[in-house]
Structure 1
Amino acid sequence: MKEDVFWRLIEECRPPDPDPEGDQLATALAARLAHGPVADVVGFAERLSWALYRLDRREYGEGLSGDAFLYTRAAVVAAGRDAYENVLRDPERFTRFANDLLWAEALLYVPDKAYEHLTGEEWDRSTRYSYESYSNAAGWADA
């Protein structure tokens, strides 16, 4: 899945009303991806993991628990491309998401739900980049 397609999908599925936990977004994304093909689900998973991996850096997550850091990074992605790119340019913008406890854990399970809907099987998935907190060794290396 191309990057522009990934972000357009996020934007098209974002609800018009506040969605602080990202549940409505995740439901809409899973429904959209569940129409297939499986390659789109895999592509979405790859783009999501890459976006989360890029935010897995000391300047964003120092002092946060692993889960809090992961779910907050997911909230940045759920906020859309502009918010995401603004956070990448200015790590101070991540603070708003962390301080307001904006989490979007549900976004992490979108590929799994869509895959299971399409195939009837659970997805034992792995992606090129791990989205787990602190997995980006370069992002946590001492300066």
Structure 2
Amino acid sequence: MTWADYWALIATLNGEATHTNCQRLAEELGRRPEPDIIGFAERQAEALYRLDQEKFGTLPVVDLTARYGSPFPQSSDVFLYTRCAVVAAGQAVWESVFFDVDKFAPYTSSERDGEWLLYVPDKAYELATGKKWGRTTRYCSESYSNRDGWPNLRS
């Protein structure tokens, strides 16, 4: 799957990875050939991996504060779901955050959870084949897996 094809499918989310939007995307993708589903999963994992950077992951959650008003840090799960929300917002938003970290910050809001996007490839595969997919992708989308993006985590 090309990046253009991937972003065209992401555009069907209308900027938000809601359960309904992601279900609709999974159904659309599930009508495509299996290589398209695999290609979508690969592009998505890479898009999330590229966002897995310290400059984004160390931003606080914008609408929460910790005890005594200090910034509330993103957990690894929140950071993953935030990256999903950025991807769901579309290609223009995804590209813009690399040049301006302040454009990433609003997606850390508890109101912008993109978790449902993670399940689109698995659901599409199941719809297309009737089987569960125990897949792996070239890139790991889990938080802190991009070692180049987290130079201070190196051992």
TM-score, with normalisation over the residues of structure 2? 0.84
Per-residue deviation, residues 55-98 of structure 1 (Å, max 9, x unmatched): 00000001310100000000000001111111121112111111
Superposition pairs for residues 1-143 of structure 1, below 5 Å?
A: 1-11=1-11, 13-15=12-14, 19=16, 21-62=17-58, 63-99=73-109, 101-142=111-152
Q: Which amino acid aligns with 1:139?
A: G
Name the structure where helix makes up a greater proportion of residues. Answer: 1
Per-residue deviation, residues 5-58 of structure 1 (Å, max 9, x unmatched): 1001111x124xx84x52232112101111020111000000000000000000
**The residue matched to 1:89 in structure 2 has which SS?**
coil
* Larger Cα-atom Rg: 2
**The residue matched to 1:121 in structure 2 has which SS?**
coil
CA contact (8 A) 1:25 1:78 kept: no
Q: For the residues of structure 1 that align with 2:39 and 2:113, how far apart are their CA atoms?
A: 23
Structure 2 unmatched ranges of 5 or more: 59-72
- Structure 1 segments (4+ residues) deviating >4 Å: none
* Residue-pair matches, total: 139
CA contact (8 A) 1:29 1:110 kept: yes
Q: For the residues of structure 2 that align with 1:94 and 1:36, how far apart are their CA atoms?
A: 32
- Percent of aligned pairs with the same amino acid: 45
TM-score, with normalisation over the residues of structure 1? 0.91
**The residue matched to 1:82 in structure 2 has which SS?**
helix
Pick which of 36-45 and 91-100 moved more: 91-100
Q: CA RMSD in A?
A: 1.6
What is the deviation of 1:100? 5.2
Q: Which amino acid aligns with 1:2?
A: T
CA contact (8 A) 1:22 1:78 kept: no
Structure 1 unmatched ranges of 5 or more: none
Q: Which amino acid aligns with 2:119?
A: Y
Pick which of 39-48 and 90-99 moved more: 90-99
Name the structure where strand makes up a greater proportion of residues. Answer: 2
